[in-house]
Chains A and B, each alone.
Chain A
Amino acid sequence: MDNLTIADRTFTSRLMVGTGKFSSNRAMVEAMEHSGCEIVTVALRRVDIDNPADSLLSHIDRERYLLLPNTSGARNAEEAVRLARLARAAGCEPWVKLEVTPDPYYLLPDPVETLKAAEILVKEGFIVLPYMPADPVLARHLEEAGTATLMPLGAPIGTNRGLRTKDLVSIIIEQANIPVVVDAGLGAPSHAAEAMELGADAVLVNTALADTPSPAAMARAFRKGVEAGREAYLAGLGPQRDKAEASSPLTGFLRN
């Protein structure tokens, strides 16, 4: 079996799903089911004590899905570490999707603070999956710090613009000894397939499913995109050429 191993856990699915922005909990759960995912991300926020919404966790089967809390909203390493510790205190396994995004317009990850937080969290025993700029040098530093994966962005979060960082992600994949998960910006199954064909170990999507009329159907499409891309990567893509090379024989033409 072509499984994905992160830290000490093995997964059959290479598609991770975020739980934000769905129109209903039901739509979210259906998308999770149809995607075939085994890892789902969640965020931590203050309870609105005048209006407590029903608990997200009551909708997520923890036997089936590994809960991956993110540190979204953190603007620096200190805030990210605090969120990670809160998530662990909530009874989660010590897995964390580390996100430090001080810039509210593009939500680009802060490389310096992300590395700083990663070093602290790894020392505290967390399994750290860092959301990061597609920077191969930073990738090396994070791997040396002991992160479990690298999660370079394809494009800014929620933009659906696809794998705009392809050349850099390709270098990260070439150099990494830990799984590379393309996170953020993938908006179509073809984008996911492209990342997987490149050799990414997995992809994470949220907006691409949540912000569509039929999240469950789109989740199925992404599942196929990821599987197709992975199979193509394992099969080995044929070489690209500048000039045409005929597929049909160049002999026996019906002409004089």
Chain B
Amino acid sequence: MILTINGQAREINQVGTLADLLAQLQLSPERVVVELNGEILCADQLGANALSPGDKIELVQFVGGG
């Protein structure tokens, strides 16, 4: 299915939930914050939300900054 991840449309297959998506992208849930269609999700919600085509996902993390 097509998902919009960090502003880019991507074909992603064999993922049911955000937890699956993070695993496929090899991102540890401890280091990223996830927004699904504008709503911020806690780490324990990542396995609970089934993804649908067209979902907009933001994956953000801490970087150096002043």
Contact = CB atoms under 8 A, between A and B. Distances in A.
B66 A204 contact: yes
Given A49-B5, A53-B63, A89-B41, 4 more contacts: A44-B62, A45-B60, A58-B31, A158-B66
Contacts of A41: 65-66
A22 B64 CA distance: 8
Contacts of A1: none
Nearest to A55: B31
A19 B60 contact: no
B45 to A, nearest CB: 10
17 contacts: A18-B66, A20-B63, A20-B64, A21-B64, A43-B64, A46-B59, A47-B60, A49-B6, A52-B25, A52-B27, A53-B63, A55-B28, A55-B31, A55-B62, A56-B62, A57-B31, A157-B66
A88 to B, nearest CB: 9
Nearest to B41: A89
Contacts of B7: 46
Nearest to A44: B60
B64 A47 contact: no
Contact size range, B: 20 to 34
A56 B60 contact: no
A98 B64 CA distance: 16
Nearest to B10: A49
Contacts, number: 91
B35 A43 contact: no
B26 interface: yes
Interface residues of A, number: 35
A44 B64 contact: no
A147 B38 CA distance: 27
A2 B22 CA distance: 46
Contacts of A56: 61-64
Contacts of B40: 85-86, 89
Interface in B2-16: 5-7
Interface string B50-66: 00000000111111111
B23 interface: no
A28 B5 CA distance: 30
Nearest to B59: A47
A49 B25 contact: yes
